Every structure is written in C-alpha cells, then in structure tokens.
C-alpha cells in the first residue's frame, strides 16, 4: 500500500512541476511571427544594424530597419508571399513548437551575431522571443535558415543589404560634415544615391 501511495504522490508532484495541461497563450491573429535578418557582430555601425522582418497572416511581409539617424525605425520594403510559400512558411514556423523551444546562447563567443524569432500575443504585443546571441540549439538554427531560404525567393536579404549601403554612405558623410567641402560631397553623394535607387 505504501508503494502505491509513493507512486501517487510522485505522479502529483510530476504533474505540478511539468505543468501538465497548461494552456498555451493565445497567439496573434494578425502576425504570424517576426525574425531578424542577422547582422555582423563586428564592423561599421551600418554593417551591425539589423532588420526585423514581420510576417503577417494576410501573407504580407514588412521589413523594418533603422533610418540614417540610427534612432528611427522605418519600413524599408514589403513583399507579398504566394499562397504556397506562406503555407510552407506557416508549417515550418509552427508557433506552438517555437514557443516551447529551449535555446541556449554561446556567451563565450566574442565576434558573433544574434538570431531570433519573435511570437506575438492576441493584442499583437511581443509574447516571447526565442534565440539570442550565437544560439546553440540546432533545431532553432535549422528553422531560422529554413525561413530565410523562403525569404530568398523574394530578395528580402537584398532589400536589407541595399539599405545597409545607404546607411553606410550616410555614416561616412556624417563623419566629414564639419567642413564646407565635406558638405558639398555630402550633397553630391545624396544625389547619386537618389539616382541609383530610382
């Protein structure tokens, strides 16, 4: 009898500790997830500036990044996923699975990058971000790469790189903006950037 009592108490404790039957939070109806583009861990400010890519449930994707003042977030591009690509992405990025992922960071690395996937709650507020600095979970890294493989079909990485070039030229211009000569170079460069981006 005592053996059964010990097993019963152990089962109750195990249930309490593991949260058996715990409800998942309600995920956003509007935002499937967001993911960062990935940026250099070392380099110029422009090279280290990351982008946030938000995938909406209506199949639209918005790419957000800092403006040239490095303090304002702007939309630098948007695309619409095909129905098939969206369904593939939604299946790959299963929110329940992402929510339960355990991801450790490689804190001893000195020149790495951060990678994250963010989920949103029913109010479109950040619910949880998975990943971090040099994440070590192979399942997370495969998921991250798989998402970016789908994005490659829409040149999303190129949109981010093009904006980094703009940031880099703005950063260079601001270094020399103390002299009249530098100001005229600044204006000429801005005109060239405008013409190239038309």
**Average pLDDT of the residues in 113-124:** 93
Maximum CA extent, the chain: 92
Can you give the pLDDT at residue 174?
Answer: 52
| Residue 63 parent element (H or E) | strand 60-66
Whole-angstrom Cα distance, residue 18 to residue 84?
A: 37
- Dump pLDDT digits (tens) for 15-62: 544 445 558 899 999 999 999 998 877 778 888 888 999 999 999 999
**Average pLDDT of the residues in 56-80:** 92
- Using the predicted structure, report yes or no on whether residue 152 has a pLDDT greater than 80: yes
- Using the predicted structure, report yes or no on whether residue 14 has a pLDDT greater than 80: no
- For the chain, domains (ranges, CATH) are 24-196 (3.30.1560)
Question: Which has the higher per-residue pLDDT, 197 or 104?
Answer: 104
Dihedral sign computed on CA atoms, order 22, 27, 33, 36: negative
């Amino acid at each position: 009898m005592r053996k059964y009592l010990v097993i019963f108490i152990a089962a109750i404790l195990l249930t309490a500790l593991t949260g058996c039957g715990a409800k998942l939070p309600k995920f956003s109806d509007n935002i499937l997830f967001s993911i960062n583009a990935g940026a250099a861990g070392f380099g110029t400010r422009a090279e280290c500036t990351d982008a946030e890519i938000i995938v909406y449930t209506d199949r639209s994707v918005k790419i957000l990044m800092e403006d040239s003042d490095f303090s304002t977030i702007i939309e630098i591009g948007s695309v619409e996923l095909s129905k098939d690509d969206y369904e593939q992405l939604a299946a790959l990025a299963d929110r329940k699975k992402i929510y339960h992922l355990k991801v450790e960071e490689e804190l001893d690395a000195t020149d790495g990058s951060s990678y994250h996937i963010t989920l949103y709650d029913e109010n479109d507020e950040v619910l949880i971000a998975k990943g971090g600095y040099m994440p070590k979970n192979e399942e997370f890294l495969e998921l991250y790469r798989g998402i970016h493989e789908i994005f490659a079909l829409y040149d999303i990485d190129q949109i981010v790189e093009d904006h980094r070039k703009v940031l880099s030229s703005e950063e260079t211009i601001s270094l020399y903006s103390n002299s009249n000569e530098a100001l005229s170079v600044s204006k000429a460069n801005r005109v060239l950037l405008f013409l190239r981006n038309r």
